[in-house]
Chain A
């Protein structure tokens, strides 16, 4: 069934899944734009894929592991923290789950 727009509740639900906040103008635009795109991609239903496997990796690589003795490129703690919004005791400060 063709849906011309998603409901405000649907849009807000998806935004919540993405941890995004939207203003009213964005909600209005997205309810139409998302429905339009979802409608467009239904064109794929014209193709029979009942015996077709998915391709997730185009060059066919599987199980690529780190080589023995490979030099690890990793950041020092100070480098890793360099862009942090807030640092407490040389660690990232996040929203408190319990009181700090």
Chain B
């Protein structure tokens, strides 16, 4: 177990593919910066891989003070055995107080294994992180400057705030897309620390036989306008109307889980508890009832328009503009109005 070290830094585990840093990792660096400033400590970014030269610069521009580079040919592919060994090694050496991972396939695989080895607590899928205090009801003792790990639980029906105060470090995985992307500051200065990796072939426990890595083709998170469709659209053909509207607005198309399950659109378009979280300037919900599992993925949108034939649909509870009507008629009118204004 790592000692409670209140002066420890705030760390981010950085995921990279080739020479590109995953967006989630940069978002976490942005959040880590806020947390570290509040605590008066530094931000550390840990990069593990075989071909990572140059990534430190970008991480510093995004807000890191220190970048720990763990480079070795054996680290060319992510594996829980080798990566957890390197990560625990470096964590034990520097005693960070907070460690953040993206709630990605890799983060979810690695973070619990690291937490178990460090004997640390880990909260999953956080949607917000804050610094605050906690008073233990039984002892009356107050713990200041601890990490409040805010995450949905019970299928999104409850928001829980998780803390740990007596076992260190404080670890969390964070949902993709919920933290803001930090602005690049090319004049920021930071320190790069080469960490000597001590690995042998035996540390690679599994053999990767074959894999398919697909580029994420839709940029739901990065788009200012999202036009999302639900089961109410009724067919793949009719989904085309949504694409037309999205094109007219320069936006992208999203969907609910049933729309994906029904084959109207591919899975990478799914928004909600099991899909992506978005917060565009404008969200247009079409033929969507507004189940909580969907709402959690979009309710931070600045403006929400809902189009539904059912005046009592739950989506209207969080909408700014309520249009009770059939999308087959409403969407063409919207496209027409947008085109008219554009000219």
Q: Do A and B come from one complex?
A: no
B-binding residues in A (CB < 8 A): none
